[in-house]
């Protein structure tokens, strides 16, 4: 009998996620199941929480992976911490801050938007003006904006948000595991990430972390959290404490995978992992520029793990991506929103940030474009 899985290709994943997965993580996913209330699984849950606290540089007790992809983390933070009529400010410079605006407004928040051109970072000076003029309940920003390749100055913004008194919401779906994340130092109150970017795990879990200030806001809600599945007041009873209370069946195999993926990062050492991302980014950019490609984002605010690349004249980005996938088994991403058709998005995330992979892409590009 033929099985479709037998014909799935071994693709080099260099798009905006998912990224390459280490064999040890694939193996972890195949570990036999124990029950989701089993004491051995609870020990593993505790270990995952501790690993996440280490990588996020936080002492937050409520630090755990939500079931669902990165978007579930965005929903979790918003649905638990926003009440109708809340004043919310979103710092907007890409697709994902746009989604944050949508999610917040669906919850009845009064959403103010401070907009910056796509491909440029949020400017703290502008944020300061806005935060001096009005007091907010929550201020949201994207750390690593995957649609534009920009790194936003989350630490500087954090100082301004603190003075305003608002909760500080940070999306680091693409940042975590590739660049430093320091929740306590930055004053972050609500944080979420995802497994399939720099954590190099299949998609399926979304690590989140809530500060004490965020938990106070949660406890003081006038009404129940309007989404049962993502209600932190319920989920924490399963993820914390001596006696665990069933909420929903944890995706056990995904938690095995996340445990293994985090173990790999912590064994190599976060500083070394970030340096590897930086070095592979530099190797990629040097090779691309030699072939006449140019970078969309200015050097000072470029993300190392997600590169927006403009093709040289005469090179069609869609055709190039197709040939790379079909002839070379390499996946790259295309542009999102207003950048569709204008740029390539090249990920060097997690396990993908290896010399052999970057070299393989550069060789394939040389062959396809006849340049360099
Ligand atoms: C990928 C991504 C998300 C959404 O994650 P999914 O896993 O696709 O749900 C959210 N924010 C940013 C910045 C992302 O890059």
| Ligand 1 lined by 95 (C-beta under 6 Å) | no
Average pLDDT over residues 103-107: 98
Q: Which of 210, 217, 212, 143 is nearest to 180 (CA)?
A: 143
* High-pLDDT (> 70) share of the chain, %: 100
Provide the token pair at 253.
């195999």
Rounded to the nearest 5°, which phi and psi values hold at 283? -65, -45
N- to C-terminal Cα separation, the chain: 46
Mean pLDDT of 168-197: 98
How many CA atoms, within 13 angstroms, populate the side-chain half-sphere of residue 240? 14
Average pLDDT over residues 297-302: 98
Pick from 102, 148, 98: which is nearest to 121 by CA? 148
Q: What is the pLDDT of residue 94?
A: 97
Ligand 1: residue whose CA is nearest its atom 2: 173
**Alpha helices (runs of H) in 203-269, residue ranges in sequence order:** 212-219, 232-239, 252-268
Give the closest residue (by CA) to ligand 1 atom 12.
173
| 114-152 as b/e: b if 16+ CB within 10 A | bebebbebbbbeebbebbeeeebbbbbbbbbbbbbbbbb
Which tokens sit at 268? 């190599």
Instruction: Check if 138 has its Cβ closer than 6 Å to any atom of ligand 1.
Output: no
210 lines ligand 1 (CB under 6 A): no
Is 124 close to ligand 1, i.e. is its CB under 6 Å away? no
Contacts of 42 (CB under 8 A, 6+ apart): 244
Per residue in 136-181, pLDDT (tens digit) is 999 999 999 999 999 999 999 999 999 999 999 999 999 999 999 9
Question: In angstroms, what is the span from residue 312 Cα to ligand 1's centroid?
Answer: 29
Task: Tell whether ligand 1 has an atom less than 6 A from the beta carbon of residue 171.
Answer: yes
Strands 167-171 and 138-142: parallel
* Residue 371 pLDDT: 87
What pLDDT, on a 0 to 100 scale, did the predictor assign at position 61? 98
Q: Copy the structure tokens of residue 52.
A: 């996440």
Predicted confidence at residue 233, as pLDDT, reads 97
Question: In the block, which residue shows the tokens 């630490």?
Answer: 155
17 C-beta closer than 6 A to ligand 1: yes
For residue range 321-345, list pLDDT tens digits in order: 999 999 999 999 999 999 999 999 9
Instruction: Give the mutation target among 15, 17, 172, 303 for probing the ligand 1 site: most ligand atoms within 8 A of CB.
Output: 17
Tokens of 318: 């869609």
Is the CB of 73 within 6 Å of ligand 1?
no
- Contact in structure between 29 and 202 (CB atoms under 8 Å): yes
12 forms bridges with which residues in the sheet? 330
Whether the CB of 194 sits within 6 Å of ligand 1: yes
Regarding the beta carbon of 372 and ligand 1, being less than 6 Å apart is answered: no
CA-nearest residue for atom 14, ligand 1, is 173
The per-residue pLDDT for range 202-218, each reduced to its tens digit, is 999 999 999 999 999 99
CA of 193 to the centre of ligand 1 (A): 8
Q: Which residue has the tokens 């944020």?
A: 127
Structural domains of the chain sorted by starting position, each given as residue range(s) with its CATH number in brackets: 4-18+269-369 (3.90.1150.10), 32-266 (3.40.640.10)
Residues 14/18/19/22 CA torsion (nearest 10 deg): -150
Report how far Cα 27 is from the mean position of its chain's Cα atoms. 23
Confidence bin at 2 (pLDDT 50/70/90): confident
Is any ligand 1 atom within 6 A of the Cβ of residue 150?
A: no
Ligand 1: residue of 67, 71, 251 to mutate (most ligand atoms within 8 A of CB) is 71
CA distance 170 to 189: 8
Quick one: pLDDT at residue 372?
77
Both tokens of 174, joined, read 């693409």
Please give the Cα distance from 328 to 370 (Å, whole number): 15
| 192 within ligand 1 shell (Cβ under 6 A) | no
User: Could you tell me which of 188, 233, 255 has the C-alpha nearest to residue 79?
Assistant: 233
**Residue 71 CB less than 6 A away from ligand 1:** yes
Q: Would you give the DSSP letter of residue 196?
A: S
Instruction: List, for residues 46-91, the tens digit of each pLDDT value.
Output: 999 999 999 999 999 999 999 999 999 999 999 999 999 999 999 9
Average pLDDT over residues 107-134: 98
């Amino acid at each position: 009998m033929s099985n479709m899985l037998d014909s799935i290709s071994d693709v080099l994943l260099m798009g905006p996620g998912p990224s390459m997965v280490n064999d040890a993580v694939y193996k972890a996913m195949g570990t036999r199941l124990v029950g989701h209330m089993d004491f051995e699984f609870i020990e593993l849950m505790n270990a995952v929480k501790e690993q996440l606290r280490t990588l996020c540089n936080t002492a937050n007790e409520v630090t755990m992976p939500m079931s669902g992809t990165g978007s579930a983390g965005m929903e979790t933070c918003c649905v638990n911490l926003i009440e109708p009529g809340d004043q919310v400010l979103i710092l907007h410079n890409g697709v994902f801050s746009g989604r944050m605006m949508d999610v917040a407004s669906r919850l009845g928040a009064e959403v103010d938007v401070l907009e910056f051109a796509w491909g440029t970072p949020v400017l703290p000076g502008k944020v300061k003006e806005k935060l001096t003029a009005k007091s907010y309940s929550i201020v949201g920003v994207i750390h690593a904006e995957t649609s534009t390749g920009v790194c936003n100055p989350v630490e500087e913004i954090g100082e301004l948000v603190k003075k305003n008194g608002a909760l500080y919401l940070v999306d680091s779906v693409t940042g975590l595991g590739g660049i430093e994340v320091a929740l306590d130092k930055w004053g972050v109150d609500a944080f979420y990430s995802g497994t399939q970017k720099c954590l190099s795990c299949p998609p399926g879990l979304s690590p989140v972390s809530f500060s004490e200030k965020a938990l106070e806001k949660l406890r003081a809600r006038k009404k129940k959290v309007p989404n049962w599945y993502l209600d932190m007041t319920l989920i924490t009873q399963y993820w914390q404490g001596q006696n665990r209370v069933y909420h929903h069946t944890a995706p056990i195999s995904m938690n095995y995978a996340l445990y293994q993926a985090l173990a790999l990062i912590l064994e190599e050492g976060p500083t070394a992992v970030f340096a590897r991302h930086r070095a592979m980014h530099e190797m990629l950019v040097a090779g691309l520029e030699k072939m006449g490609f140019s970078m969309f984002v200015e050097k000072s605010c470029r993300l190392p793990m997600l590169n927006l690349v403009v093709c040289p004249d005469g090179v069609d980005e869609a055709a190039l991506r197709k040939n790379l996938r079909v002839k070379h088994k390499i996946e790259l991403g295309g542009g999102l929103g207003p950048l569709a058709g204008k740029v390539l998005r090249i990920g060097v995330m997690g396990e993908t940030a290896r010399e052999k992979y970057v070299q393989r892409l550069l060789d394939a590009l040389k062959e396809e474009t006849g340049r360099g």
